[in-house]
Structure 1
Amino acid sequence: MNPTDPNANLNALLARRMLVLDGAMGTMIQRERLTEEQFRGERFRDWPRELRGNNDLLVLTQPALVRRIHLDYFEAGADIVETNTFNSTPVSLADYGMEALAYDINLAAARLARDAAAEAQRRDPSRRRFVAGALGPTSKTASISPDVNDPGFRNISFDALVVAYHEAARALLDGGVDLLLVETVFDTLNAKAALFAIEALFDERGSRLPLIVSGTITDASGRTLSGQTTEAFYNSVRHARPLVVGLNCALGAKELRQYVEELSAIAETYVSCYPNAGLPNAFGEYDDTPESMAQQMGEWARAGFLNLVGGCCGTTPEHIRAIAAAVRGVPPRALPERPKMLRLSGLEPLNVGEGSLFVNIGERTNVTGSKAFARLILAGNYAEALSVARQQVENGAQIIDVNMDEAMLDSESAMSTFLSLVATEPDIARVPVMVDSSKWSVIEAGLKCLQGKGIV
């Protein structure tokens, strides 16, 4: 095994023992009660917008604080710390007018965490410390319209997200991270843009780093904000060959347990979970104690659900110290043998294998096969066209075929418009989509609208 190869190192460690991720950076920063002036530092003293609350900026203005927090987590037992870059894509930094600083912030954050890892290693050389380059979900969503009166509208495109994630990930790699972490995924289409950008970077550099993808189940419905179930989310991201797939944020350990159990049963990858310290109280604070979280997550580990544990919002070095102690010596989850199947998803999973019966594909949402559907699309009557798709699913279609190859149509625009509207209709979007065209540009336009795993 090459001692400098993060893929080999992490694979070997995850197979051998439970690994520990850090806890919340934001919680620790909030404890400091920093002033606006401290957020600004000298460099941004005259910045025209308020900067208090831009925690990621502190890697430039208060680097000693960020480095100390990383070290506190390493000292508490973390094997991996995340860079302080949750909101450091150009998309999220635009809220502060700082999108042009995305590269600088990500680079500085990676170097700070790398320096803290080296210091922790120097203090205790008995185990390797790792740095995960954190890529958050951004402040926009590619699958949901922000305007209830215009469900097909999006405030960001797949292509714009790819550019933003490429810039952030490039800086993290330049700064020396050991792995990349696409986390708090509330819209899987955003995550797919991140994964596309990361894959492009790996191709450009001729090498890969380990990848963790962590989704967020937002409430008791058991779905992400954009509507996917746990298994649908997993089917949507497994093509990226992640080393670890997991869940984090939004819920506490008690609420997340059933979804972690579900993921552990279906994932061919290693599994992670880093919950919040309970649900927020009336003051927006988190009350779950280190002892309580450690007891719950220790039970999950003993049940064989996990390979990587940590904490999200509200957790502290005290939480990580207790969790690390609770899982110490517990054998990690063994990777399951799963039958080879075609694993698709809309908002819900569709798995097709040797034991499956025939699969019903609804082909009436096809302008070359349905004159009625073609008339509706040519007339721009997308609302009525959606009713055709809905009827197909209600009548038993497990996949809907969408084709916009008509000489009188702007096929790319029609495909994007229709699939964006489909995404807003849960009773249709629950099934996978077959993007059907003789033109690659139309297929590509369609794929950029699908958060699920579709068919070409």
Structure 2
Amino acid sequence: MSAEARIRELLRERILVLDGAWGTMIQDAGLAPEDYRGERFRDHPRDVTGDPDLLNLTRPDVVLGIHRAYLEAGADVTTTNTFTATRIGQADYGLEEAVHDMNVQGARLARQAADEAGSRFVAGSLGPLNVTLSLSPKVDDPAYRAVTFDDVVEAYAEQVRGLREGGVDFLLVETIFDTLNAKAAIAAARDVAPELPLWISVTIVDLSGRTLSGQTLEAFWNSIEHACPLIVGVNCSLGAKEMRPHVEELSRLAETFTSCHPNAGLPNAFGGYDEQPPDTSSLLREFAEAGFVNVVGGCCGTTPEHTRAIAAAVEGLAPRVVPERPRRPRFSGLEPFEIGPDTGFVMIGERTNVTGSARFRRLIEANDYQGAVDVALEQVRGGANLLDVNMDADLLDGERAMTTFLNLLATEPEVARIPIVVDSSRFSVLEAGLKCVQGKGIVNSISLKEGEGSFLEQARRIRRYGAGVVVMAFDEQGQADTVERKV
């Protein structure tokens, strides 16, 4: 039986337990700068103290000991010590060339510990980056991005290659604060290791119920549902008490298994965590009794003692039953938009289209993107449910214009809350737009004009970004002119 089949079988039988915090355990190990450097990096020109993923190479005994402690405490799943092991994440230390080895060795150490414990699983940890695709680091240039979507895909792809080589059972894209970054991680995982199941876990940053990049939980789920994750969950930022309404909402939305690994309460005045194992475990037991979860564990501030208490608290409790939701068109910007029997007429704002609005075209051609955003605001305030964006004009660099405008829209919450319709007759422009949309948008449009092979390839690419699509009734012979040809 494959690892995925065994995981699925167990998830239907009982609630599984994930390990806890790694940072807490590494801090408590009392490591010195020479522990981080080891022999291999003794003469490295930068300070590497505090880089936890480097320990996979320089102090594997410490990493292996942490895995063993959590597994002995009752964890069914241990995560690799690779939370920041990407080329982007390691750039500050000048350790980009060690990234592959960090991930391979991190996975092998986790694999060794899991196999020693027997019938345990290894989740390859893909943590967040120190850059974001949905927000600009420059206050005076909101359309600017420090990295591109393709940069992020390649960074995660390198990590995934190492984790797969090291022997992980599935991939955990965790602590997600920007859904567009997560989409890049998903794309990398599907490109490099399509056979590995995905576990996707979002971080709700405060009691507003939104991610750092502004999405609600339902909008997030709509945005990543195309990945068909084995597990979707919520972790970090909050303690279990504050996390409860979000876990409850996700349990209702997701047609897959759900997880929750909270912090040990909220941080105290010194940045530490005071919630004790009995408190965390009793809260997670209540989640289980309410039918919210299939996997529970711990994040910042938790220890093997928390894991032990959590495992005991949920032992014997029935796992959440995965619900079935009616199949409906669901999209999202920062907020969800669902078309159902009672939705009524759906309005798509078409004035942010250079082929349909002379005013908008003049603004774009004059490089007045802020004026163009004002046109979008007028559409939203006029009642648009979705916003169509088209940059198909002669002498206009459509890819650049689409990217600049959509990056700017992402910083305007009133507009960004609704889904985007990326509109172009050129697929390169469509794809440039999809790389800027963190929500679930729509592509307008593709057809069979260039044959079935081209159509299927474009459809696969669109799905890679998690978008819906309008299909025009055209083929090589032209527009469909009869019912039979249209249907």
The question of a shared fold, defined as TM-score above 0.5 by the shorter chain, is answered with yes
Per the TM alignment, residue 177 of structure 1 is displaced from its structure 2 partner at its CA by 0.3
- Conserved? CA contact 2:124–2:168, under 8 Å: yes
User: Does structure 1 residue 147 correspond to structure 2 residue 147?
Assistant: no
Q: Secondary structure in 2 aligned to 1:118?
A: helix
- Whether the aligned pair in 2 keeps the contact of 1:378 and 1:408 (CA below 8 Å) is no
Q: Deviations over 1:40-72 (max 9, x none)?
A: 111111111111110010000000110010011
SS at match of 1:220: coil
2:268 aligned with 1:303, yes or no? no
Matching of residues 45-194 of structure 1 within 5 Å: 45-121=42-118, 128-194=119-185
Quick check: 1:29 aligned with 2:39? no
| SS of equivalent to 1:64 | helix
Query: In structure 1, what is the equivalent of residue 480 of structure 2?
Result: none
Q: Which residue is 1:125 aligned to?
A: none
Partner of residue 398, structure 1:
385
Take 2:45 and 2:348, find their aligned partners in 1: how far apart are those partners? 55
Structure 1 residue 6, shift from structure 2 partner: 1.9
Is the 1:6–1:210 contact (alpha carbons within 8 Å) kept by the matching residues of 2? no
CA contact (8 A) 1:83 1:109 kept: yes
Q: 2:224 aligns with which of 234, 237, 246?
A: 237
CA distance in 2, matches of 1:237, 1:14: 21
Q: Deviations over 1:144-179 (max 9, x none)?
A: 111111111111110000010000001100111000
Instruction: Tell me how far 1:342 sits from its aligned partner.
Output: 1.1
Query: Counterparts of 2:98 and 2:28 in 1: how far apart (Å)?
Result: 26
Give distance in 1, aligned partners of 2:173 and 2:338.
25
Distance apart, 1:356 and its partner CA = 2.7
3-state SS of paired residue (2:421): strand
- Per-residue Cα deviation, 1:184-219 (whole angstroms, up to 9, x for no partner): 00000000000011111135xxxx121100000011
Residues 415, 442 of structure 1: 8 Å contact kept:
yes
Contact 2:160 2:193 survives alignment (8 Å) = no
CA deviation string 1:60-85 (max 9, x = no partner)? 00001100100111111100000000
Offset at 1:221?
Answer: 1.4
Aligned twin of 2:365: 378
Gaps of 5+ in 2: 444-487
Counterpart code for 1:34: L
Matched, 1:282 2:269: yes
8 Å Cα contact 2:157-2:189 kept in structure 1: yes
CA deviation vs aligned residue, 1:212-235 (integer Å, no higher than 9, x gap): 000000111111000000001111
Deviation per CA, 1:108-146: give whole Å up to 9, x if none. Answer: 00000000011111xxxxxx2000000011111111111
- Report what 2:428 is aligned to: 441
CA contact under 8 A between 1:107 and 1:172: conserved in structure 2? yes
What is the CA–CA distance in structure 2 between the aligned matches of 1:377 and 1:422, rounded to whole Å? 14
Please state how far the C-alpha of 1:354 moved relative to its aligned partner.
3.8
The total of aligned residue pairs comes to: 443
CA distance in structure 2 between the partners assigned to 1:115 and 1:6 by the alignment:
15
In the alignment, the residues of structure 2 paired with residue 210 and residue 352 of structure 1 have an alpha-carbon distance, to the nearest angstrom, of: 30
Partner of 1:321: 308
Identity %: 60
The CA deviation at 1:405 is 0.3
Q: Secondary structure at the match of 1:91?
A: coil
The one-letter code sitting in structure 2 at the alignment partner of 1:47 is H
SS in 1 for 2:153: helix
Q: What per-residue deviation string (whole Å, max 9, x for no partner) do you get for residues 388-437 of structure 1? A: 11111111111000000001200000000000000001110000000000
Q: Matched residue of 1:212: which SS?
A: strand
SS in 1 for 2:89: helix
Question: What are the superposed Cα offsets for residues 299-328 of structure 1, whole Å, 9 maximum, x if unpaired?
Answer: 010000000000000000000110111111
- 2:449 maps to which residue? none
- CA distance, structure 2, for counterparts of residue 434 and residue 354 of structure 1: 22
Q: Is the 8 Å Cα contact of residues 252 and 323 (structure 2) preserved in structure 1?
A: yes
Asked whether the 8 Å contact 2:215–2:334 carries over to 1, the reply is yes
Separation in structure 2 between the aligned mates of residue 251 and residue 149 of structure 1, nearest angstrom: 31
Could you say which residue in structure 2 is the equivalent of 1:341?
A: 328
Letter in 2 for 1:176: G
State the partner residue of 2:15. 18
Residue 330 of structure 2 aligns to a residue whose secondary structure is: strand
